[in-house]
Structure 1
Amino acid sequence: MTSATGAGPARPLRADAARNHRRLVEAAATAFESDGPDVALEEIARRAGVGVATLYRRFRTRDQLVRAVLEAVFAAEIEPTAAAGDGDPWTDLAGSLSRAVEAIAARRTILTLAREAGVFDVESVQRYGRTLNRLLDRARDAGAVRPELSPRDLSAVLVMALAVAEGAEGTPDATGADRRRYVALLLDGLRPGHPPLPTPSDL
Protein backbone atom coordinates (compact mmCIF):
# COMPACT_ATOMS: atom_id res chain seq x y z
CA MET A 1 0.00 0.00 0.00
CA THR A 2 1.28 3.41 -0.88
CA SER A 3 1.32 6.28 1.55
CA ALA A 4 -1.60 8.70 1.75
CA THR A 5 0.49 11.24 -0.11
CA GLY A 6 1.24 8.78 -2.91
CA ALA A 7 4.98 9.17 -2.33
CA GLY A 8 5.86 5.50 -1.92
CA PRO A 9 5.51 2.86 0.82
CA ALA A 10 3.80 4.14 3.95
CA ARG A 11 6.00 4.82 6.96
CA PRO A 12 4.71 4.50 10.54
CA LEU A 13 3.38 7.80 11.88
CA ARG A 14 4.05 9.25 15.30
CA ALA A 15 1.05 8.99 17.61
CA ASP A 16 0.12 12.66 17.23
CA ALA A 17 0.59 12.57 13.46
CA ALA A 18 -1.50 9.41 13.19
CA ARG A 19 -4.23 11.02 15.28
CA ASN A 20 -4.26 14.13 13.09
CA HIS A 21 -4.28 11.99 9.95
CA ARG A 22 -7.31 10.06 11.21
CA ARG A 23 -9.16 13.23 12.24
CA LEU A 24 -8.53 14.88 8.87
CA VAL A 25 -9.65 11.84 6.87
CA GLU A 26 -12.81 11.42 8.96
CA ALA A 27 -13.62 15.14 8.77
CA ALA A 28 -13.04 15.19 5.02
CA ALA A 29 -15.24 12.14 4.45
CA THR A 30 -18.09 13.82 6.32
CA ALA A 31 -17.55 17.24 4.74
CA PHE A 32 -17.44 15.95 1.16
CA GLU A 33 -20.78 14.21 1.58
CA SER A 34 -22.52 16.95 3.57
CA ASP A 35 -21.10 20.11 1.96
CA GLY A 36 -20.23 18.84 -1.51
CA PRO A 37 -17.02 18.18 -3.44
CA ASP A 38 -15.91 21.83 -3.38
CA VAL A 39 -15.82 22.19 0.40
CA ALA A 40 -12.84 24.32 1.42
CA LEU A 41 -9.80 22.60 2.91
CA GLU A 42 -9.87 25.22 5.67
CA GLU A 43 -13.34 23.97 6.65
CA ILE A 44 -12.10 20.38 6.73
CA ALA A 45 -9.20 21.38 8.97
CA ARG A 46 -11.60 23.26 11.26
CA ARG A 47 -13.87 20.21 11.57
CA ALA A 48 -10.85 18.05 12.34
CA GLY A 49 -9.77 20.44 15.08
CA VAL A 50 -6.38 21.18 13.53
CA GLY A 51 -4.80 24.10 11.75
CA VAL A 52 -4.82 24.27 7.98
CA ALA A 53 -1.00 24.12 8.07
CA THR A 54 -1.30 20.67 9.66
CA LEU A 55 -3.57 19.57 6.82
CA TYR A 56 -1.04 20.70 4.22
CA ARG A 57 1.79 18.93 6.03
CA ARG A 58 -0.13 15.67 5.79
CA PHE A 59 -1.63 16.20 2.31
CA ARG A 60 0.21 18.44 -0.09
CA THR A 61 -2.71 18.54 -2.55
CA ARG A 62 -6.48 18.10 -2.47
CA ASP A 63 -6.14 14.94 -4.58
CA GLN A 64 -3.89 13.36 -1.94
CA LEU A 65 -6.56 14.00 0.69
CA VAL A 66 -9.23 12.52 -1.59
CA ARG A 67 -7.08 9.41 -2.06
CA ALA A 68 -6.68 8.97 1.70
CA VAL A 69 -10.42 9.36 2.21
CA LEU A 70 -11.17 6.84 -0.52
CA GLU A 71 -8.75 4.28 0.96
CA ALA A 72 -10.36 4.65 4.40
CA VAL A 73 -13.93 4.47 3.10
CA PHE A 74 -13.21 1.54 0.78
CA ALA A 75 -11.48 -0.46 3.53
CA ALA A 76 -14.06 0.28 6.24
CA GLU A 77 -17.34 0.33 4.30
CA ILE A 78 -17.09 -1.31 0.88
CA GLU A 79 -14.60 -4.18 1.19
CA PRO A 80 -16.46 -5.74 4.16
CA THR A 81 -19.61 -6.09 2.03
CA ALA A 82 -17.87 -8.89 0.12
CA ALA A 83 -16.82 -10.84 3.19
CA ALA A 84 -16.71 -14.49 2.13
CA GLY A 85 -19.37 -16.43 3.96
CA ASP A 86 -20.02 -20.11 4.57
CA GLY A 87 -23.80 -19.99 4.40
CA ASP A 88 -26.11 -20.46 1.45
CA PRO A 89 -24.04 -19.52 -1.65
CA TRP A 90 -26.83 -17.53 -3.33
CA THR A 91 -27.74 -15.68 -0.14
CA ASP A 92 -24.10 -14.79 0.47
CA LEU A 93 -23.59 -13.48 -3.08
CA ALA A 94 -26.88 -11.60 -3.33
CA GLY A 95 -26.43 -10.12 0.13
CA SER A 96 -22.92 -8.97 -0.73
CA LEU A 97 -24.05 -7.20 -3.91
CA SER A 98 -26.98 -5.57 -2.12
CA ARG A 99 -24.77 -4.30 0.69
CA ALA A 100 -22.23 -2.99 -1.80
CA VAL A 101 -24.89 -0.95 -3.61
CA GLU A 102 -26.01 0.63 -0.33
CA ALA A 103 -22.43 1.35 0.77
CA ILE A 104 -21.51 2.90 -2.57
CA ALA A 105 -24.74 4.92 -2.74
CA ALA A 106 -23.90 6.44 0.64
CA ARG A 107 -20.51 7.62 -0.64
CA ARG A 108 -21.28 8.74 -4.18
CA THR A 109 -19.62 12.13 -3.77
CA ILE A 110 -16.34 10.67 -2.52
CA LEU A 111 -16.27 8.01 -5.22
CA THR A 112 -16.97 10.60 -7.91
CA LEU A 113 -14.17 12.80 -6.58
CA ALA A 114 -11.78 9.85 -6.56
CA ARG A 115 -12.69 8.89 -10.12
CA GLU A 116 -12.24 12.47 -11.37
CA ALA A 117 -8.88 12.76 -9.59
CA GLY A 118 -7.72 9.36 -10.84
CA VAL A 119 -6.78 8.20 -7.35
CA PHE A 120 -8.55 4.85 -7.10
CA ASP A 121 -6.41 2.44 -5.09
CA VAL A 122 -5.88 -0.54 -7.38
CA GLU A 123 -4.79 -2.86 -4.58
CA SER A 124 -8.00 -2.30 -2.60
CA VAL A 125 -10.20 -2.78 -5.65
CA GLN A 126 -8.39 -5.98 -6.61
CA ARG A 127 -8.67 -7.33 -3.06
CA TYR A 128 -12.40 -6.62 -3.08
CA GLY A 129 -12.73 -8.26 -6.49
CA ARG A 130 -10.96 -11.43 -5.37
CA THR A 131 -13.33 -11.85 -2.44
CA LEU A 132 -16.36 -11.21 -4.62
CA ASN A 133 -15.05 -13.74 -7.13
CA ARG A 134 -14.89 -16.39 -4.41
CA LEU A 135 -18.56 -15.76 -3.65
CA LEU A 136 -19.37 -16.07 -7.35
CA ASP A 137 -17.41 -19.34 -7.62
CA ARG A 138 -19.31 -20.83 -4.66
CA ALA A 139 -22.66 -19.79 -6.14
CA ARG A 140 -21.71 -21.14 -9.57
CA ASP A 141 -20.50 -24.47 -8.14
CA ALA A 142 -23.79 -24.78 -6.25
CA GLY A 143 -25.81 -24.16 -9.41
CA ALA A 144 -27.33 -21.05 -7.85
CA VAL A 145 -26.38 -18.70 -10.68
CA ARG A 146 -26.03 -18.83 -14.45
CA PRO A 147 -22.98 -20.96 -15.29
CA GLU A 148 -21.68 -18.37 -17.78
CA LEU A 149 -21.51 -15.53 -15.24
CA SER A 150 -18.16 -13.76 -14.91
CA PRO A 151 -16.71 -11.27 -12.41
CA ARG A 152 -17.16 -8.60 -15.08
CA ASP A 153 -20.91 -9.31 -15.03
CA LEU A 154 -21.07 -8.64 -11.29
CA SER A 155 -19.27 -5.33 -11.75
CA ALA A 156 -21.81 -4.40 -14.42
CA VAL A 157 -24.70 -5.27 -12.09
CA LEU A 158 -23.33 -2.91 -9.44
CA VAL A 159 -22.92 -0.12 -12.01
CA MET A 160 -26.42 -0.64 -13.43
CA ALA A 161 -28.03 -0.75 -9.99
CA LEU A 162 -26.44 2.54 -9.00
CA ALA A 163 -27.18 4.20 -12.35
CA VAL A 164 -30.87 3.29 -12.16
CA ALA A 165 -31.09 4.17 -8.46
CA GLU A 166 -29.65 7.64 -9.03
CA GLY A 167 -32.38 8.41 -11.56
CA ALA A 168 -32.23 10.56 -14.64
CA GLU A 169 -30.48 13.90 -14.56
CA GLY A 170 -32.61 16.48 -12.78
CA THR A 171 -34.75 13.93 -10.93
CA PRO A 172 -34.52 13.09 -7.23
CA ASP A 173 -32.24 10.27 -6.15
CA ALA A 174 -33.93 6.96 -5.54
CA THR A 175 -34.80 6.00 -2.00
CA GLY A 176 -33.37 2.98 -0.24
CA ALA A 177 -36.56 1.09 -1.04
CA ASP A 178 -36.17 1.96 -4.72
CA ARG A 179 -32.56 0.74 -4.75
CA ARG A 180 -33.55 -2.55 -3.13
CA ARG A 181 -36.27 -3.00 -5.76
CA TYR A 182 -33.87 -2.37 -8.65
CA VAL A 183 -31.21 -4.63 -7.13
CA ALA A 184 -33.79 -7.42 -6.73
CA LEU A 185 -34.71 -7.11 -10.42
CA LEU A 186 -31.07 -7.25 -11.48
CA LEU A 187 -30.23 -10.13 -9.17
CA ASP A 188 -33.06 -12.17 -10.66
CA GLY A 189 -31.19 -11.99 -13.97
CA LEU A 190 -28.22 -13.78 -12.38
CA ARG A 191 -30.25 -16.86 -11.52
CA PRO A 192 -30.24 -19.99 -13.70
CA GLY A 193 -33.19 -20.79 -15.94
CA HIS A 194 -32.88 -17.81 -18.28
CA PRO A 195 -31.69 -17.96 -21.90
CA PRO A 196 -27.89 -17.96 -22.15
CA LEU A 197 -26.19 -14.58 -22.17
CA PRO A 198 -24.48 -13.36 -25.35
CA THR A 199 -20.72 -13.96 -25.43
CA PRO A 200 -18.78 -10.93 -24.12
CA SER A 201 -17.32 -8.76 -26.86
CA ASP A 202 -13.74 -9.23 -25.61
CA LEU A 203 -13.75 -13.03 -25.91
Structure 2
Amino acid sequence: MTAASAAFEQDGPGVSLDDIARRAGVGIATLYRRFGTREDLVKAVAEHVFAAEIATAIVEDGPDPWTDIVATITRTVDAFAAHPVLVSLAREHAVMGMDTMASYRAAVERVLVRARDAGVVRADLQAADLKAVVVMGLAIAHHTDCGTGSRSRHLTLLIDGLRPTGVPLPGA
Protein backbone atom coordinates (compact mmCIF):
# COMPACT_ATOMS: atom_id res chain seq x y z
CA MET A 1 0.00 0.00 0.00
CA THR A 2 2.76 2.41 0.94
CA ALA A 3 4.73 1.71 -2.22
CA ALA A 4 1.66 2.10 -4.43
CA SER A 5 0.61 5.33 -2.72
CA ALA A 6 4.10 6.79 -3.15
CA ALA A 7 4.26 5.62 -6.78
CA PHE A 8 0.94 7.28 -7.64
CA GLU A 9 1.95 10.56 -6.01
CA GLN A 10 5.51 10.66 -7.36
CA ASP A 11 5.04 9.20 -10.84
CA GLY A 12 1.44 10.17 -11.55
CA PRO A 13 -1.77 8.29 -12.21
CA GLY A 14 -0.32 6.41 -15.17
CA VAL A 15 2.44 4.71 -13.18
CA SER A 16 2.75 1.12 -14.34
CA LEU A 17 1.85 -1.82 -12.15
CA ASP A 18 5.33 -3.17 -12.90
CA ASP A 19 6.84 -0.05 -11.32
CA ILE A 20 4.57 -0.37 -8.30
CA ALA A 21 5.49 -4.04 -7.85
CA ARG A 22 9.18 -3.20 -8.16
CA ARG A 23 8.86 -0.46 -5.51
CA ALA A 24 7.05 -2.87 -3.21
CA GLY A 25 9.71 -5.53 -3.71
CA VAL A 26 7.26 -8.07 -5.12
CA GLY A 27 6.70 -9.63 -8.50
CA ILE A 28 3.96 -8.41 -10.82
CA ALA A 29 2.18 -11.76 -10.43
CA THR A 30 1.97 -11.17 -6.67
CA LEU A 31 0.43 -7.77 -7.29
CA TYR A 32 -2.18 -9.24 -9.64
CA ARG A 33 -2.95 -12.13 -7.26
CA ARG A 34 -3.43 -9.70 -4.38
CA PHE A 35 -5.42 -7.02 -6.20
CA GLY A 36 -6.63 -8.48 -9.50
CA THR A 37 -6.92 -5.23 -11.43
CA ARG A 38 -5.47 -1.73 -11.42
CA GLU A 39 -8.83 -0.41 -10.19
CA ASP A 40 -8.79 -2.90 -7.28
CA LEU A 41 -5.32 -1.64 -6.36
CA VAL A 42 -6.44 2.01 -6.55
CA LYS A 43 -9.43 1.16 -4.36
CA ALA A 44 -7.30 -0.65 -1.78
CA VAL A 45 -4.70 2.13 -1.65
CA ALA A 46 -7.35 4.86 -1.44
CA GLU A 47 -9.15 3.10 1.41
CA HIS A 48 -5.85 2.45 3.19
CA VAL A 49 -4.79 6.10 2.95
CA PHE A 50 -8.28 7.26 3.92
CA ALA A 51 -8.34 5.02 7.01
CA ALA A 52 -4.75 5.82 8.02
CA GLU A 53 -4.61 9.55 7.34
CA ILE A 54 -8.00 11.10 6.67
CA ALA A 55 -10.26 9.27 9.11
CA THR A 56 -7.66 9.89 11.81
CA ALA A 57 -7.87 13.63 11.10
CA ILE A 58 -11.07 13.77 13.15
CA VAL A 59 -10.49 15.46 16.49
CA GLU A 60 -13.20 14.67 19.04
CA ASP A 61 -13.66 15.21 22.75
CA GLY A 62 -10.94 17.79 23.23
CA PRO A 63 -11.46 20.47 25.87
CA ASP A 64 -12.70 23.04 23.30
CA PRO A 65 -15.28 22.21 20.59
CA TRP A 66 -14.11 25.12 18.39
CA THR A 67 -10.52 23.86 18.50
CA ASP A 68 -11.75 20.35 17.64
CA ILE A 69 -13.72 21.48 14.58
CA VAL A 70 -10.90 23.71 13.31
CA ALA A 71 -8.36 20.92 13.83
CA THR A 72 -10.64 18.41 12.10
CA ILE A 73 -11.05 20.64 9.04
CA THR A 74 -7.39 21.64 8.89
CA ARG A 75 -6.07 18.11 9.35
CA THR A 76 -8.58 16.76 6.79
CA VAL A 77 -7.53 19.35 4.21
CA ASP A 78 -3.85 18.63 4.91
CA ALA A 79 -4.38 14.87 4.61
CA PHE A 80 -6.24 15.15 1.30
CA ALA A 81 -3.76 17.74 -0.02
CA ALA A 82 -0.89 15.33 0.64
CA HIS A 83 -2.40 12.87 -1.87
CA PRO A 84 -3.73 14.86 -4.86
CA VAL A 85 -3.14 12.12 -7.42
CA LEU A 86 -4.72 9.43 -5.27
CA VAL A 87 -7.71 11.66 -4.47
CA SER A 88 -8.19 12.26 -8.19
CA LEU A 89 -7.92 8.54 -8.97
CA ALA A 90 -10.34 7.66 -6.16
CA ARG A 91 -12.84 10.21 -7.47
CA GLU A 92 -12.39 9.03 -11.06
CA HIS A 93 -12.97 5.38 -10.12
CA ALA A 94 -15.57 6.08 -7.37
CA VAL A 95 -13.67 3.71 -5.11
CA MET A 96 -14.38 4.84 -1.56
CA GLY A 97 -16.42 2.19 0.25
CA MET A 98 -19.71 3.16 1.81
CA ASP A 99 -18.70 1.86 5.26
CA THR A 100 -15.51 3.90 5.25
CA MET A 101 -17.30 7.08 4.25
CA ALA A 102 -20.27 6.48 6.57
CA SER A 103 -18.09 6.17 9.66
CA TYR A 104 -16.14 9.30 8.68
CA ARG A 105 -19.35 11.28 8.10
CA ALA A 106 -20.72 10.12 11.46
CA ALA A 107 -17.55 11.30 13.23
CA VAL A 108 -17.70 14.68 11.48
CA GLU A 109 -21.36 14.98 12.47
CA ARG A 110 -20.46 14.33 16.13
CA VAL A 111 -17.79 17.05 16.03
CA LEU A 112 -20.25 19.44 14.41
CA VAL A 113 -23.11 18.71 16.85
CA ARG A 114 -20.79 19.23 19.81
CA ALA A 115 -19.60 22.58 18.39
CA ARG A 116 -23.17 23.63 17.56
CA ASP A 117 -24.39 22.67 21.04
CA ALA A 118 -21.57 24.74 22.56
CA GLY A 119 -22.62 27.72 20.43
CA VAL A 120 -19.18 28.13 18.84
CA VAL A 121 -20.41 27.60 15.26
CA ARG A 122 -23.42 28.83 13.36
CA ALA A 123 -26.64 27.16 14.52
CA ASP A 124 -27.59 26.48 10.89
CA LEU A 125 -24.28 24.83 9.98
CA GLN A 126 -24.67 21.34 8.52
CA ALA A 127 -22.28 18.48 7.84
CA ALA A 128 -22.61 19.14 4.11
CA ASP A 129 -21.34 22.67 4.77
CA LEU A 130 -18.21 21.23 6.40
CA LYS A 131 -17.67 19.02 3.38
CA ALA A 132 -17.89 22.14 1.19
CA VAL A 133 -15.41 23.93 3.46
CA VAL A 134 -12.96 21.02 3.07
CA VAL A 135 -13.38 21.14 -0.73
CA MET A 136 -12.78 24.91 -0.69
CA GLY A 137 -9.79 24.34 1.58
CA LEU A 138 -8.40 21.85 -0.93
CA ALA A 139 -8.85 24.41 -3.69
CA ILE A 140 -6.84 26.83 -1.57
CA ALA A 141 -4.20 24.16 -0.92
CA HIS A 142 -3.85 23.27 -4.61
CA HIS A 143 -4.06 26.76 -6.09
CA THR A 144 -2.20 28.92 -3.60
CA ASP A 145 1.24 29.75 -4.92
CA CYS A 146 2.07 32.04 -2.00
CA GLY A 147 3.47 29.28 0.22
CA THR A 148 2.07 27.43 3.22
CA GLY A 149 1.80 30.60 5.34
CA SER A 150 -0.72 32.06 2.90
CA ARG A 151 -2.51 28.73 2.65
CA SER A 152 -2.93 28.68 6.42
CA ARG A 153 -4.08 32.30 6.38
CA HIS A 154 -6.68 31.66 3.68
CA LEU A 155 -7.93 28.52 5.38
CA THR A 156 -8.29 30.47 8.64
CA LEU A 157 -10.36 33.12 6.83
CA LEU A 158 -12.55 30.39 5.38
CA ILE A 159 -13.02 28.61 8.71
CA ASP A 160 -13.83 31.87 10.48
CA GLY A 161 -17.03 31.97 8.42
CA LEU A 162 -18.29 29.03 10.52
CA ARG A 163 -18.60 31.21 13.62
CA PRO A 164 -22.06 32.36 14.69
CA THR A 165 -23.05 35.72 13.19
CA GLY A 166 -26.79 35.96 13.72
CA VAL A 167 -27.30 36.18 9.97
CA PRO A 168 -28.94 32.99 8.65
CA LEU A 169 -27.40 31.16 5.75
CA PRO A 170 -29.38 31.37 2.52
CA GLY A 171 -31.47 28.25 2.04
CA ALA A 172 -31.01 27.14 5.64
TM-score (norm 1): 0.81
**Of 152-161 and 191-200, the range deviating more from structure 2:** 191-200
Equivalent residue, structure 2, for 1:190? 162
Gaps of 5+ in 2: none
2:93 is equivalent to residue 121 of structure 1: no
Q: Which has the larger radius of gyration?
A: 1
3-state SS of 2:106 partner? helix
3-state SS of 2:18 partner? helix
Following TM superposition, where does structure 1 have runs of at least 4 consecutive aligned residues deviating by more than 2 angstroms? Answer: 172-179
Equivalent residue, structure 1, for 2:116? 140
Identity of aligned residues (%): 51
Q: Distance between the aligned counterparts of 2:69 and 2:171, measured in 1?
A: 23
Contact 2:58-2:72 within 8 A present in 1 as well: yes
> Could you say if the C-alpha distance between residues 68 and 144 of structure 1 is closer, same or farther in structure 2, counting changes exceeding 3 Å?
same
TM-score (norm 2): 0.95
Count of matched residue pairs: 172
Cα displacement (A) at 1:55: 0.6
Which of the pair has the greater relative contact order for Cα pairs under 8 Å at 6+ separation?
2
Greater helix share, structure number: 2
Gaps of 5+ in 1: 1-24
- Aligned positions of 1:53-92 closer than 5 A: 53-92=29-68
Equivalent residue, structure 1, for 2:142? 166
Contact 2:59-2:71 within 8 A present in 1 as well: no
Contact 1:78-1:104 within 8 A present in 2 as well: yes
Q: Look up the equivalent residue of 2:147 and give its one-letter code.
A: T
CA RMSD of superposed structures (Å): 1.4
Q: Distance between the aligned counterparts of 2:11 and 2:166, measured in 1?
A: 45
